[in-house]
Amino acid sequence: MTKQRNYTIMIVDDNPESVGFFKTHFAGCRHLACYCGSEKAAKSLMAGVYPDIVVSRLHFDNTSGKKLFLYVTEQYPNAIRIIFSDESEQQNLIRMVATGIAHRYFCMPWEKNGVGAILAHDLLTRSRLRVHNCWRYLKAENVMPAIPSVMREIEEVVQDDDFAMDKLVEVISKDPAIAAILLQVVNSAAFPKKAVIGDLHHAVTFLGISQTRELVLYVCARQILAPPRKCSELFRLVSTHSFLCSRLAGIIARQLMPGLEKAASTAALLHDIGKLIFFSVNCNRYLELLDFQAAFDQSSADCEIKEFGVSHSQLGSSLMLWWNLPMTMIESAANHNLALDKLSGIPRCVAIADRCLREVESNGEVITDLDTLRDEFPVDEWRTLAGELLASEGADIAV
């Protein structure tokens, strides 16, 4: 039986009513919940207790959650950062996540917006990240998970209170290779649009801040993680799978979550990034592991953990946490192999797309739990789409 882990959750809020909701929710649980009403108190407490999750009100005690979270990002990179406020502040909260200051946001009131379920869900995801194991693995392999320099520049621009889209375009255009690939990806079928996007400004405007950050990071990761020649073909196959998964997840999201197609496509594009790291860093060992897995019909996660101490999903999701991506991206990488009835939202769209493609890629040898959704969703239609996408592979792959 897997040992249950205890986590430290820090609540930073000076509103007695909402603090009362948090105290009721965490009463009697095995986790340590700490409450602070000021930035000074929060920093003092964090100096002695490393937080696993920090939940902060957007404005408190004459200061801001933004200021606190910039400090947490630098000092406690393993912490999940969740920002909240009233519904009137929703646009400001969305921007906090889009710019990488927070991993998630929610709005009060508590009951109406299911805040308790959100917190429970994020604790479950946190338990699957294994950030310390991932950090040790990367350090042992001499691969430190620093944010690429262009991403640092992007974050400085988008987090500026005087942000303008032209400044973001200017930063990206400094690297012609990144700009060219970003245009190629945004013009692919993974991002349906009415006309071809011909310039970088149009591409960034079409994508928005959040998806632009995520796609630039994807391009940077592909550049950093170039594999040895021996693994280049399997690296390409995983990249192709991720791209096709991106297309299919966007189609599924259009049916299940209209308006979130681009978010689902981007999450799917990055969901297997942990595999790319293994191919890049441990080519020979990963090839041997895949042969063993196929020969003995073993779980890929079990084999990876036994060999490297971490699985590809743990590695990829931890990297996304350190790179300040939204929780939907982190969840999609961490949880896409969970049972479908345990998933919801964008991670479920990604998981469905991943399963449809794996079934088709294996010519039916891989059995998944897709049929558990048959009474609720058009899974056979999605399987057919997966087959069509795979058959047209190569005609529109921007990777």
Burial class (CB in 10 A: 0-12, 13-18, 19+), 191: buried
For residue 399, what pLDDT is reported?
43
Residue 301 one-letter amino acid: A
pLDDT of residue 340: 95
**Domain locations in the chain as residue ranges:** 8-129, 135-391
Q: What is the pLDDT of residue 398?
A: 43
Domain boundaries 8-129, corresponding CATH code: 3.40.50.2300
- List, run by run, the mean pLDDT of 10-residue segments along the chain (399 residues): 77 96 94 95 96 96 92 95 97 94 96 94 90 89 76 89 90 90 84 84 91 88 86 92 94 94 93 93 93 79 92 93 94 94 94 96 90 95 94 56
Spatial contact of 267 and 248, defined as CB atoms under 8 Å apart: no
147: burial class by Cβ within 10 Å (0-12, 13-18, 19+)? middle
Q: Is 49 exposed, middle or buried (0-12, 13-18, 19+ CB in 10 A)?
A: exposed
Joined together, the tokens standing for residue 165 give 């889209």
In angstroms, the CA 63 to CA 203 distance is: 35
User: Peptide bond before 109: cis, by omega within 30 degrees of 0?
Assistant: yes
Q: Determine the CATH number of domain 135-391.
A: 1.10.3210.10
Res 18: pLDDT: 96
Give me the pLDDT at residue 4, please.
67
Provide the total of helices (H) and of strands (E) in the chain, helices listed first.
19, 7
pTM of structure: 0.89
Residues 267, 332 contacting (CB under 8 angstroms): yes
Q: Decide: 350 and 337 in contact? Cβ < 8 Å.
A: no
Instruction: List the structure tokens of 339.
Output: 């049972």
3-state secondary structure of 115: helix
